[in-house]
Structure 1
Amino acid sequence: MTTTSYEQTFPRPRRSLIPAWALQWATWLLVVTLIVGPFIPLVYASLRDRPLYEAGGVLTIQPYRQLFGDSLFWHAWGNTLVFAALTTVIAVLGGALVAILCTRTDLAGRKAFGRLILLPILLPSLGMVLGWIVVWGPGGYLTSMFSDRLHLPTLAIDTIPGMALVEASRLLPIAFLTCQAALSRADSSLEDAARSAGARPLRVLFNITIPMLRPALLNAATLIFTLSIAALGIPLLLGTSNNIVFVSSYLYNTWTNASTPDPGSVSAGAVMMLGVATLLLLLRNRLLGAEARFVSVGGKTGRQALLRLRRWRWPFAGLLAFYLAFTTLVPVLGLAAMSFVVVLTPLVPPWELLTSSHWHVLWEDDAFRRSIQNSAIIAVVGAVATTAFVALATLVAHRSGFRFRHSLPFLMLYPRATPGIIIGIGFFWAYLLTGALGDYLRDSIWGIMLAFCVRNLPLAYIVMYPTLARIGEELDRAGRAAGAGWWRTSRTIVLPLLKPAIFASFILLFVEIINDYDPAVFLVKPGTEVMGATMLAQFIQGTVGPVSALAMVQVVITVVVLAIGAKVFKIGVTGGERGA
């Protein structure tokens, strides 16, 4: 990360309507308020002897004593850590293997596989879990077929290892992208020299390639472990039947399903999760700082020599295609079939049980219909507002002389490492303490939109910053030399060059916001339903068909928007224009 020292050798900037210093201060204060602000009432609520909505009360650590004295809480932590560890191991090993095959070998169709492997993280996470349940869950279509007709065992996805496999299939693309980026930057001359000296491919892999990937593997493992701890939908939908409780589902059930809700203990548990997530994010930042020591790069890397797989070229491609079909295509097809049949069972052909009643429910039931409308409005408005705000904040962080600019990158990455359920609890208490404005936000869809925008804000920054870093700062200096101020230079020179990344950010934010649900579970109320929260609540109550139809609405919207982004705006995976 480079910064520019702006010397006072330029002509006096032309006066603008809003001074640059005022705009920069306002941007920084808004970032701090939106990201750090909700956690202050969360900590305060965990230190009171009664909920914040009750008058009076004194400071106490009783909520922590009560929480730490509950054996179920520590049992939930044990389940969560085992689940997160298994998920991390499976996702990191799988992602690294696919990255090596697609980047360092002549695997058949490696470019196509490099794009298709990203589908699980782009498709709706809750919808994919529902697809797994319909197909591979207890009583699922293929589970029944394998056990009853073929008498073959299947993995029970309602166990901790099974849930880890489901989550790992969704998070594997994170490890793939991290390792692919490291391999693309690394010079392959060391591997070529080892092969020329007679080293076998496996020895080159373990002695050279994997050591170069070590920082990337640790980086991906830390991020995946953090995201796994925050999982909510999987333990609620898969773990409940076997009484498997994670920390996230423990907090959710304590707040929503307990005969006497205990907001103090829930807030204390949320603060504990927040502390763990913060420590993991700090660890990840340190690992990122060490990555350059393990990668050999000499200027602009040349053409990388690919390892010839020979007779294994097509078998490996077949195994990768089978994996994608098993983890992505089959669950989506099962979800689609469930939305069009009365019941999905191998005992009766699906075409004999066809029905459109599940889709009629989406338009006839007020809750389902409102959830679609509200989600669409929140996604469009939220994506536009967040994209514009992140573009401004990124300029302040990396293209200004603002005093506190170095704190912005960490702050803008922080919400993604924070469990969504904690963000939802934090905004719930924040709205409760902010008077008329908080009441308005709590009673409207805009309060949920704000929580979603803060949760997904880091995605826009991750897309914009690399593009901004490639724009030479001499353009800023040229604008300043011509007498333009900071804002006019940014608006007329830098932002137009950021357009590809801005469009990519909008598409990505729209998809993520319309599929998000974790922060909304504590904020949603009648009239403010969103698709994810409605699916979660209705499925827990036993409604399967209409929920499958609603999940397919999410899938179709996601695929259509991503296709439009790829074709119209020529948006690549990492943002920006292809070939730029």
Structure 2
Amino acid sequence: MTSIGRIFSARNLVIGSALLFLVVFVLFPLVLLVLRSFLGTEGEISLQNYIAVYGKERNWDAVVMTLWVCGLTMFFSMIFATGLAWLVVRSNLPWRRQFRSLFFIPYVIPPYVGAIAWILLLTPGVGYINKMLVESFGADVPGPFDIYTVPGLVWVMTLFYYPLAFLNVASALEQMDNSLEEAARISGAHPLRVFWDITLPLVSPSFFAGGLLVFAASASAFGVPAMIGMPSRIYVLSTQVIQYVYMGTTSGMREATALSVVLMVIAVITMTLGNRLLSRKRYTLVGGKSARVLPVSLGRFKIPALIFSGLLGFLLVVLPIGAIVVTSFIRVFGEPITLENLSLEHYAYILTFKTALEAFQNSFFLGIVAATLALFVASLIAYYRVKVKSPLARAADLIATIPYATPGTVIALALIIAFSGKYGLNLYNTFAILIVAYIVKYLAFSVRTVCASLEQIDLSLEEAAQISGASWLQSFRDIILPLVRPGLIAAWFLVFMTTFYELTMTILLYGPGTHNLGVILFEMQTYSNQQAASVLSVLILVVVLGGNVLVSKITKGKITI
């Protein structure tokens, strides 16, 4: 084959198209966003936007509130996650495997659905817990709890983001050689001393990495701060950016851009630090290899620990899901739960409401198309990364990962700036811009999953096929893809499920007729009907939890949504 033929070979053309996608839809919008933040009113390079933004007290308040809320969420998540991870991995707690799955469920639930659940439970006056405490224990009206506060916001954020830290610490505890712990216990050291002096230092990379991932995820969140914070005028950067974009003015877009760059820097730095800490994995070096983890006896605390774990599982999973399910059947929210106040009318309303039905159709359509295209692009990038291992391949892998660390609000704003017609392509208010946003944001899910599958197969099989006369496309289609099929299916579902209920980017990008379930649910909860919002939440949970079970079975428990 001539040099020109090699350049225009099928493999290079196909992989080149994936790289072109990264340049056009990832690099270009994000770089443009950063550059636009430094353009003044006359188009000159200037700090004018930053001076204007941070000269306003409300914007500084949003920055401080973001750091405060995310810092508290990170702190409580690290403590919470480490204790639970130790219980389900290192102790002799009964039903450890079942509790581990139970403690992970909040991560599967869309955070804004979790916010709705806790609004139903802790709204002053009408929340189920507040009403119970007032009616049964004589608490002062409207009850002791108010979800629309900073503690309420931190509480919900912690409950639905702590699994990020939980997974990291649990994985570290499983892989750690416990010979030093055993030696310390044999020497008479108290279990708490062993944990503080040996266990925690050995898993510290995962401990701090998990905390940083929680910080980055909570800084990027929109649904929870919008539903819980905005009604009481508690603004973080993500909700403040949305407010500026909704102004619909040039000055509003400039200020949104300047705020977005700061939000992106915060999220990317914390995510990068977290990944660097994870890559160190100091716990795998102790003893030279990972040994069988022997459970630590809880002794007389075994039954109390079991009761505590059961109550915690009830608080984390059963109570919020139960609140949503019960509310979906209640005719009048705030009235006593009696047979007379139970009805299917809200289910009938949702199942006959044209806008809700369109949202279901749009969510399935957007999810299927985005997942399929993301899988195509990710498969090529992953193949290029594993097979070629060149600097360009590593760069492509890095570019595909950047959007995952970038808040969805920032990605949406970058796409609005880049593809609203000024630069030759107008995708605004179309399905296309939503599909591009979903692919860009969640491409890293697919790349990581497919890379893991490709690294487990011997690529010499492909070389043998090509020596036998098969083209690259034939060997890729007939050999590589069948061998990594389980990973491909898992990658497809990972993207489909997250895009099915996506809210953060969609709330900025949707137009007439392109709304999805996340948008309709947000509008119902915020402006309309809590019972109808609960019905939608139940239906979303059925799809999400069902999809998670399916992915877990396909991957034999190795991957969950």
| TM-score with structure 1 setting the length | 0.88
Conserved 8 A contact 1:378-1:446: no
Match for residue 220 of structure 2?
230
Conserved 8 A contact 2:102-2:317: no
Conserved 8 A contact 1:24-1:402: no
Match for residue 122 of structure 2?
136
Quick one: which amino acid aligns to residue 246 of structure 1?
Answer: V
Query: Cα deviations across residues 396-428 of structure 1 (Å, max 9, x unaligned)?
Result: 112225440112332222222111111111111
1:400 matched to 2:406? The reply is no
2-structure distance, mates of 1:17, 1:321: 61
Match for residue 163 of structure 2?
173
Equivalent of 2:134 in 138, 147, 153: 147
**Which deviates the most, 349-358 or 484-493?**
484-493
Query: Cα deviations across residues 177-205 of structure 1 (Å, max 9, x unaligned)?
Result: 11122122211222122222222211111
CA displacement at 1:103 relative to structure 2: 1.2
Aligned pairs for 1:472-551 within 5 A: 472=458, 475=461, 488-551=474-537
Match for residue 470 of structure 1?
456
Identity %: 24
Quick one: which amino acid aligns to residue 294 of structure 2?
Answer: A
Aligned pairs for 1:141-220 within 5 A: 141-152=128-139, 154-220=144-210
Conserved 8 A contact 1:102-1:113: yes
Match for residue 97 of structure 2?
111
Match for residue 21 of structure 2?
30
Conserved 8 A contact 1:255-1:261: no
CA displacement at 1:44 relative to structure 2: 4.0
Residues 113 and 475 (structure 1), Cα distance of their counterparts in 2 relative to 1, 3 Å cut: farther
Match for residue 424 of structure 1?
412
1:356 matched to 2:334? The reply is no
1:157 partner SS: coil
Conserved 8 A contact 2:453-2:484: yes
1:549 partner SS: helix
1:562 matched to 2:548? The reply is yes
2-structure distance, mates of 1:434, 1:393: 29
2:235 partner SS: coil
Conserved 8 A contact 1:214-1:294: no
Match for residue 557 of structure 2?
572
Match for residue 386 of structure 1?
374
Quick one: which amino acid aligns to residue 107 of structure 1?
Answer: L
Query: Cα deviations across residues 199-227 of structure 1 (Å, max 9, x unaligned)?
Result: 22111111111111100011111111111
Equivalent of 1:76 in 55, 59, 62: 62
2:203 partner SS: helix
Aligned pairs for 1:13-52 within 5 A: 18-49=9-40
Quick one: which amino acid aligns to residue 90 of structure 2?
Answer: R
Query: Cα deviations across residues 442-469 of structure 1 (Å, max 9, x unaligned)?
Result: 2422321221222122222333333333
Residues 199 and 106 (structure 1), Cα distance of their counterparts in 2 relative to 1, 3 Å cut: same
Query: Cα deviations across residues 468-488 of structure 1 (Å, max 9, x unaligned)?
Result: 333345555655665666655
Query: Cα deviations across residues 116-173 of structure 1 (Å, max 9, x unaligned)?
Result: 2221111222111111111123331122211343135644332212211111111111
1-structure distance, mates of 2:403, 2:452: 19
Residues 465 and 117 (structure 1), Cα distance of their counterparts in 2 relative to 1, 3 Å cut: farther
Conserved 8 A contact 1:215-1:294: no
2-structure distance, mates of 1:529, 1:366: 12
Conserved 8 A contact 2:244-2:256: yes
Query: Cα deviations across residues 489-535 of structure 1 (Å, max 9, x unaligned)?
Result: 54444332222211211222221111211011111122111111222
Match for residue 431 of structure 2?
445
Quick one: which amino acid aligns to residue 21 of structure 1?
Answer: N
Quick one: which amino acid aligns to residue 321 of structure 1?
Answer: G
CA displacement at 1:279 relative to structure 2: 2.1
Match for residue 377 of structure 1?
365
2-structure distance, mates of 1:261, 1:125: 31
CA displacement at 1:570 relative to structure 2: 4.9
**Which deviates the most, 378-387 or 168-177?**
378-387
Match for residue 339 of structure 1?
328
Match for residue 86 of structure 1?
72
Residues 293 and 196 (structure 1), Cα distance of their counterparts in 2 relative to 1, 3 Å cut: closer
The alignment's C-alpha RMSD in Å is 2.8
1-structure distance, mates of 2:25, 2:238: 23
Conserved 8 A contact 1:141-1:344: no
CA displacement at 1:307 relative to structure 2: 0.7
Quick one: which amino acid aligns to residue 370 of structure 1?
Answer: E
Residues 259 and 547 (structure 1), Cα distance of their counterparts in 2 relative to 1, 3 Å cut: farther
1:370 partner SS: helix
Residues 401 and 44 (structure 1), Cα distance of their counterparts in 2 relative to 1, 3 Å cut: closer
1:333 partner SS: helix
CA displacement at 1:283 relative to structure 2: 2.1
Quick one: which amino acid aligns to residue 509 of structure 2?
Answer: L
Residues 26 and 260 (structure 1), Cα distance of their counterparts in 2 relative to 1, 3 Å cut: closer
CA displacement at 1:31 relative to structure 2: 2.3
Quick one: which amino acid aligns to residue 144 of structure 1?
Answer: K
2-structure distance, mates of 1:196, 1:38: 59
| TM-score with structure 2 setting the length | 0.91
Equivalent of 2:298 in 309, 327, 332: 309
Residues 358 and 270 (structure 1), Cα distance of their counterparts in 2 relative to 1, 3 Å cut: same
1-structure distance, mates of 2:169, 2:342: 44
Residues 25 and 402 (structure 1), Cα distance of their counterparts in 2 relative to 1, 3 Å cut: farther
Match for residue 250 of structure 1?
240
**What 5-or-longer segments of structure 1 have no aligned partner?**
1-11, 51-55
2-structure distance, mates of 1:479, 1:147: 74
Residues 304 and 58 (structure 1), Cα distance of their counterparts in 2 relative to 1, 3 Å cut: closer
Residues 384 and 323 (structure 1), Cα distance of their counterparts in 2 relative to 1, 3 Å cut: same
**Which deviates the most, 162-171 or 539-548?**
539-548
**What 5-or-longer segments of structure 2 have no aligned partner?**
none
1:404 partner SS: helix
2-structure distance, mates of 1:459, 1:433: 30
Residues 249 and 556 (structure 1), Cα distance of their counterparts in 2 relative to 1, 3 Å cut: same
